[in-house]
C-alpha cells in the first residue's frame, strides 16, 4: 500500500480526535516533507518503512537549511519527527503495518549543527579501503563507495547512472533526481581515473549476453538496484569494522560535512546535493557547473588528498 495514500486517513483520524486546525495543518506540511524524502529515496510502499529509513530522514532534517542558510532549529526538527512518529504509530495501531519503525527514534534535545552519523576522514578511508580490489566485485564496490562519498548523490541516483551520463575527461556526472529532474555534479580526478579503469577492465566481466547501459552491473548482468547499492555499502562497513552505523545516506552527509568543515559555501553544497525543498534551494542563486567544479576541487577531501600526492 502506498504511504502517500494513507496520509488523508491519518488527517481524518486527527480531525475525529478533535485536534486543532493548527495541529492538522502542521501535520499535513510535515508529512509532505516526509513523503518528498521517501520518494527521493525510491520508497513508496509502507512495507519499506524501516527504522533505518526513519533514521536517514532524521539525518536529512539535521542537514536541511532555512531561507537564511542556517540549519533547521532543533525545535523544528523535533516537531517534524514527532509528527512522523505519530503517523507511524497510527499505521501500527490500525494494522497497516506490523511493527512501528519510529518507536525507537529519539528526538534531538540540543542544538547540533551537523548530523551525528558522520564518518571522520580516517573512518572514511577505512571504508573506502575495505573492499578487496584484487577481485572484480571488490573493485566495483570500492568505486561505488568512493563515488557516493565524492558526489553526495543518493542511492537511487547512483543506481540510475548510465554510461552516457559520465564525462570522465571533464569530470562531470549527470544525475537524475526525483521526477527525473536533472543536475550535473563534479567528480574528482581520482575517482574519474578509477571509473575509467572500471569501465575498461572490470565492468565487462559483469556483462551477460550483450552490453548494458547501466554503469554498475550485478553478477546476473543487470543494473544494480537501490537495494544492491545499499547492501554493498553495509558490507563494506562491516568489513571496515566501523562503530558508526553506515548507510548510503551516511556517505551523502559525510561528503557535505567534510566540504563544509573545509570551508565550502553552503549554496554550492545545496546545488550539488540537489535539495528540492523550497526552504533549502529557492533562495539560492543559480550556481553554474564550472563554479561547482571549482568548489568541489578546492574543498572535497578526495581532491585535496590527490593534490598532496
Give me the active site residues, please: 154, 178, 249, 252, 275, 284
d(CA 93, CA 196): 52
58 burial via Cβ count (<10 Å: 0-12, 13-18, 19+):
buried
The three grid cell numbers given for residue 31, joined into one nine-digit string: 508529512
Q: Residue 176 pairs with which residues in a beta bridge? A: 182
Exposed e or buried b for every residue in 144-183, given b needs 16+ CB within 10 A? bbbbbbbbbbbbbbbbbbeeebbeeeebbbebbbbeeeeb
d(CA 239, CA 220): 24
The three grid cell numbers given for residue 235, joined into one nine-digit string: 558490507
Residue 256: Cβ within 10 Å count: 22
End-to-end, the C-alpha distance of the chain in Å comes to: 52
Amino acid at each position: 500500500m502506498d504511504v502517500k495514500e494513507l496520509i488523508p486517513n491519518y488527517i481524518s483520524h486527527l480531525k475525529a480526535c478533535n485536534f486543532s486546525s493548527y495541529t492538522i495543518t502542521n501535520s499535513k506540511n510535515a508529512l509532505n516533507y516526509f513523503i518528498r524524502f521517501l520518494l527521493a529515496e525510491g520508497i513508496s510502499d509502507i512495507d519499506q518503512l524501516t527504522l533505518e529509513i526513519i533514521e536517514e530522514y532524521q539525518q536529512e532534517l539535521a542537514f536541511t537549511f532555512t531561507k537564511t542558510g542556517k540549519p533547521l532549529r532543533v525545535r523544528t526538527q523535533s516537531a517534524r519527527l514527532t509528527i512522523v512518529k505519530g503517523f507511524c504509530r497510527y499505521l501500527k495501531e490500525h494494522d497497516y503495518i506490523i511493527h512501528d519503525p519510529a518507536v525507537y527514534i529519539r528526538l534531538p534535545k540540543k542544538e547540533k549543527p551537523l548530523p551525528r552519523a558522520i564518518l571522520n576522514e580516517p573512518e572514511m578511508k577505512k571504508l573506502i579501503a575495505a573492499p578487496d580490489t584484487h577481485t572484480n566485485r571488490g573493485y566495483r564496490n570500492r568505486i561505488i563507495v568512493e563515488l557516493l562519498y565524492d558526489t553526495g548523490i543518493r542511492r537511487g541516483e547512483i543506481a540510475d547512472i548510465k554510461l552516457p551520463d559520465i564525462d570522465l575527461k571533464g569530470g562531470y556526472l549527470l544525475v537524475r533526481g526525483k521526477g527525473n529532474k536533472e543536475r550535473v555534479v563534479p567528480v574528482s580526478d581520482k575517482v574519474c581515473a578509477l571509473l575509467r579503469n572500471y569501465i575498461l577492465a572490470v565492468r565487462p566481466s559483469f556483462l551477460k549476453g550483450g552490453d548494458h547501459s547501466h554503469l554498475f552491473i550485478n553478477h546476473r548482468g543487470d543494473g544494480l538496484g537501490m537495494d544492491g547499492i545499499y547492501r554493498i555499502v553495509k558490507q563494506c562497513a562491516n568489513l571496515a569494522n566501523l562503530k558508526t552505523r553506515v548507510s548510503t545516506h551516511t556517505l551523502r552527509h559525510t561528503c557535505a560535512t567534510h566540504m563544509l568543515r573545509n570551508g565550502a559555501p553552503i549554496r554550492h553544497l545545496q546545488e550539488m546535493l540537489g535539495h528540492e525543498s523550497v526552504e533549502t534551494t529557492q533562495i539560492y542563486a543559480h550556481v553554474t557547473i564550472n563554479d561547482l567544479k571549482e568548489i568541489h576541487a578546492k574543498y572535497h577531501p578526495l581532491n585535496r588528498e590527490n593534490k598532496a600526492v
